[in-house]
Amino acid sequence: MTIQMRVYVPPHPLIQHWLGIARDADTPPALFRSAMTELGRWLTYEACRDWLPVVETQVQTPLAECAATFVNPQVPMVVVPILRAGLALLEGALPVLPLASIYHIGMERNEETLEAKCYLNKLPDQFEPQTRVLLSDPMLATGGTIKMAMEELVKRGADPANIRIIAVVAAPPALQQLSQSYPSLNIYTACIDETLNEQGFIVPGLGDAGDRAFAT
C-alpha cells in the first residue's frame, strides 16, 4: 500500500475567522498575536484527532460505574515551536496539550539564497519511538525551514508518522518537499495559498508572521 502525506484544511468557521484577521494588513500586533493564539488552539485541536494515545478504564460517577477514556500520560508529548514565529502558535497549543514538554529550535532564512540555517537547537539527544511531536510554524513557504526541522527531529528518533505540523498558511513548494521526504506526515493548516513571490513569501499570505507578532 502506498503511503501518502495528508494535508488537512479544517472547515471550521473560527479558524477562517481568525485567519482573516491575521491576513489583514491593518490588524495591530496585539490583535495579530490573539489571532495566532486562537489559530494555534484550533489547529492543535484538529491535529489531535486519532493521534493522542488513550487508555480505557472505569470510573465511579455519583450514580454508577461507567467506562471512561483518558489520554495516556505514559506516552511522551512534545511541542516544538520553530523560532521566532512558531512561538506565536505555542500559546494556543499548550492549553490543548498541557502535559507536553516544550523544546525550541531556531531557524533563520537567508533573504538572498532563501536557504535555512539553524541557530538554536534545544532538542533532546533522543526521542522515544512512540513520542507524539507537534511542530509549529505559521508559514510553510519554500519548505527549507520546515524540512530542516524535520531532519533534526527524525535524526533524534522521532517517527514522522507520530509528528503533526500546524501552520497558518502553506504553499505548494513546501508541501511538495515534505511529501517527497516524509509520506507518513500529517499537516494541519488554515489555508493553502497559490504561490510565492521572488522573496520567497507566500502570496497572498500574511506577511512576516514573526515581525507582525512581535512588532519588530
Please state the separation of Cα 98 from the chain's center in Å: 16
Check whether 67 has a pLDDT greater than 70: yes
State the pTM of this model. Answer: 0.92
From the candidates 109, 142, 156, 159, give the one annotated as an active-site residue: 109
- pLDDT per residue as tens digits for the range 109-153: 777 676 778 888 899 999 998 999 999 999 999 888 999 999 999
Q: What percent of the chain has pLDDT over 70?
A: 97
Q: Answer yes or no: 24 catalytic.
A: no
* 1-20 average pLDDT score: 90
* 143-164 average pLDDT score: 93
Q: Answer yes or no: 33 catalytic.
A: no
Instruction: Provide the mean pLDDT of the chain.
Output: 92
What SS3 state is found at 134?
A: strand
Report d(CA 211, CA 208) in Å as an integer: 5
Q: Looking at per-residue confidence, does 216 or 204 come out higher?
A: 204
* 53-75 average pLDDT score: 94
Question: How much is the pLDDT for 107?
Answer: 84
* 42-52 average pLDDT score: 94
What SS3 state is found at 103?
A: coil
From the candidates 24, 49, 113, 195, give the one annotated as an active-site residue: 113
Domains of the chain: 6-50+75-205 (3.40.50.2020)
Q: Answer yes or no: 84 catalytic.
A: no
Residue 25's alpha-carbon distances to 13, 28, 32, 141, in angstroms, are 21, 8, 10, 19
Question: How much is the pLDDT for 2?
Answer: 64
* 54-83 average pLDDT score: 94
From the candidates 27, 156, 159, 208, give the one annotated as an active-site residue: 208
- Residue among 64, 12, 67, 62 nearest 42 (CA): 12
Q: Answer yes or no: 109 catalytic.
A: yes
- Cβ contacts of 93 within 8 Å, gap of 6 or more: 40, 41, 43, 44, 79, 100, 134, 136, 166
